[in-house]
Amino acid sequence: MSKVWFITGTSTGFGRQFVQQLLQAGEKVVATARKLEAIQDFKELAPDRVHLAALDVTNKEQIQSAVQEAVDVFGKIDIVVNNAGYGLFGMLEEYTDEQIRTQFDVNVFGVLNVIQATLPIFKRQGSGHYVNFSSFFGTWSMPPYSLYSASKFAVEGFSEAFAQEFAPFGIKTTIVEPSVYATEFFGEGMQHTDKKQEYAPLYEAYEKGMSNLKVGDPAKAVQLIISVINSGNSPLRLPVGSQAAYTIREAYSKRLEEVNTWFERAAEAD
């Protein structure tokens, strides 16, 4: 029996790959985007198994409407993929108040808005699965992604907690942590600050480091995520890509090493 997937941000990148691969696999999909004209081609793939809905994750009314449409059309929602989000590029001092607030409105509160709208359905069904997109930057941080990273740290934090809160209702949670992939993240999806000259050395170091990174294929990433979600044995956190697995392991190892180094001194404060 096919499952019903509710996916945000399907016009490009991972979201578009999800819709294409799921429809090819015979699943049912509620594909959402801020501009419906950007996803009209999905109707050609499987007109009877895809429903298109306009959805801006910062607009609660639109979210409620899209969720209700999903239930009206397919009768249920099995999996919610909180994919919508974007990157903010710059040094902390360079961000404007508006850039900071918008980053959190979309990447953090947008995810919470969708969860709040769909949770009653999952509880009523006694089943459901949240797939929340974080990033390998959700486990460690570096210039020039301090605010983007902070938004993904937030997603990691509340997802880890509500995974335990929702589990008694038959609801699963998976946090997806991709590395660098060939999506719009580094293109039109990225917002930039006005650079200050004094940070030029940090920007140069970043560019040098990025030149050595392996850019992954989003189709392979989504194929992996879908297979893990459908396996019935999905983890709480799923690194996606060798770069993600390596850097996350390294970050945790360094953190554990530091905790061990300062453990006895920390205990003196008891």
220 a catalytic residue: no
130 a catalytic residue: no
152 a catalytic residue: yes
SS (H, E, C) the chain: CCCEEEECCCCCHHHHHHHHHHHHCCCEEEEEECCHHHHCCHHHHCCCCEEEEECCCCCHHHHHHHHHHHHHHHCCCCEEEECCCCEEEECHHHCCHHHHHHHHHHHHHHHHHHHHHHHHHHHHHCCEEEEEECCHHHCCCCCCEHHHHHHHHHHHHHHHHHHHHHHHHCEEEEEEEECCECCHHHCCCEEECCCCHHHHHHHHHHHHHHCCCCCECHHHHHHHHHHHHHCCCCCCEEEECHHHHHHHHHHHHHHHHHHHHCHHHHHCCC
Catalytic residue among 152, 159, 172, 234: 152
Rounded-to-10 torsion of CA 108, 109, 110, 115: 100
Catalytic residue among 95, 130, 145, 148: 148
Catalytic residue among 11, 130, 134, 181: 134
Catalytic residue numbers, as ranges: 134, 148, 152
